[in-house]
Amino acid sequence: MVCISGVLSTSTAAEVCFNELGCFDDLPPWGGTAQRPASILPWHLEEIGTRFLLFTQQNRHYQEIKTDKSIQASNYSRMRKTRFIIPGYLEKGDEDWPQDMCKVMLKWENANCIAVEWKKGVKTQYAQAANNARVVAAQVASMIKFLMTDYRSFLCFVPPLILCSGLDPAEPYFQDTNSSVHLDTSDATFVDVIHTDGLPFNSKLGLGMSHPMGHIDFYPNGGELMPGCSTNRGKPTDLDAIWEGTKKFDACNHVRAYQYYSESMVKSQGFVGFPCSDKGSFDAGKCFPCAHDKCPLMGHDADRFNVMDGVSKMKYFLNTGGSEPFGRYSYRITVTLDGPSLPNLGFLYVALIGENDNTEEYQLHLGALIPGRNYELLIDAEVNVGNVTEVNFRWNNHIPDPWNPKYGAAKVELQRGKDKRM
């Protein structure tokens, strides 16, 4: 999640309390419910081990900051926006992705980027990690309050936050819970969510929530199975071992959310979200192209979208690539075929030539070539060609033809997805 220290005071069987942070109990809605059956108290602060790692354009490596006057020796500045990067699941070998995201962000934005590290508190059994997260959230709120009181500068902060981006929020222990437990629109002035692993946990081991929960919710590739990833393998009973890192698990679908977000800081136009009711309608081209100002950008620039009624009632769909770069640029191309009156079997191909770059060649049609017929294709281009200057058209015989027929394009129409531009 991208958004948004205390001394142990007292502890009882039902709650644990920390100075400044308050008390945490194990009663509903936090435990003892159908969605959160285990009643578990959070660990002590030392066991969770939360650290706040500050990155700015002035320091190449992080500076650890605390809620005390030592921050005056850091590069934190009240003149800049402040962003927090808070991880959930940590894939082995990629535990420091929040730090990497800060480094990418600072190439494009002069901000205070704070990576919140709580590796000790998250690498444990799942229900324990879910409850440790409550304390981490309180620690983040405490840090925000401290910075606001002492420095009075903020983008995202003590409730209500300005902006909060959910990166495939976890389903177990959070879906169908009380609104105080999971992310929703009350948590910030603007909440956007990216869903990438939304298959049901109990049957398909999907780690992410599928339900809309933000002001706008993005479903790249349908939000369940990402290109370049395999289906999740395992059983629900494996969750603790997966979270602890003791069982091998490919979390490719789940971690795609933060990978898309990171790339969106560099190539925002490659992540245009199309309003659509469902994936089937989107794949059929029924939601193409965008109406005027109706398509938000998934990721870092999502907050530029103006939600007129406060909460958008539409899901947003888009396609991505299966590997970096993930961003895609959408077009609809229609070719009216010209040629001999008798149909022949063959292939039709098209490619886009632009001011900035050229696309690969795409197969427009395979089968009977019928003059006068329109052949249409939705293209998710792998590069941003800029303004299209020409469309290359090519055909091949499906089988050798002694009559040597010749075909051409009587008419070519091209429409850009993000703005209807022809």
Say if residue 184 carries a ligand binding annotation: yes
Catalytic residue, candidates 26, 168, 192, 197: 168
Q: How is residue 380 written in tokens?
A: 């998710």
Q: How far apart are CA 127 and CA 91, in angstroms?
A: 17
DSSP track, 240-304: HHHHHT-S----HHHHHHHHHHHHHTT-GGG-BPEEES-HHHHHTTTT-SPPTT--PBSSTTGGG
Burial of 75 (0-12, 13-18, 19+ CB in 10 A): middle
Is-catalytic flag, 168? yes
Q: How far apart are CA 228 and CA 322, in angstroms?
A: 4
106 three-class SS:
helix
> What distance lies between CA 300 and its chain's CA centroid?
9
The residue behind tokens 């003149």 is 79
Q: How far apart are CA 407 and CA 173, in angstroms?
A: 60
Question: Which residue stretches of 300-406 are H helix?
Answer: none
Is-catalytic flag, 254? yes
Catalytic residue, candidates 39, 74, 77, 153: 153
Q: How far apart are CA 263 and CA 258, in angstroms?
A: 9
Q: How many helices (H) and strands (E) does the chain have?
A: 8, 18
Q: What is the dihedral of CA 410, 416, 417, 420, to 10 degrees?
A: -90
Catalytic residue, candidates 182, 195, 215, 254: 254
Name residue 367's amino acid. Answer: G
Q: How far apart are CA 369 and CA 339, in angstroms?
A: 9
User: Which residues are known binding-site members for Ca(2+)?
Assistant: 184, 187
Active site residues: 153, 168, 254
User: Which residues are known binding-site members?
Assistant: 184, 187
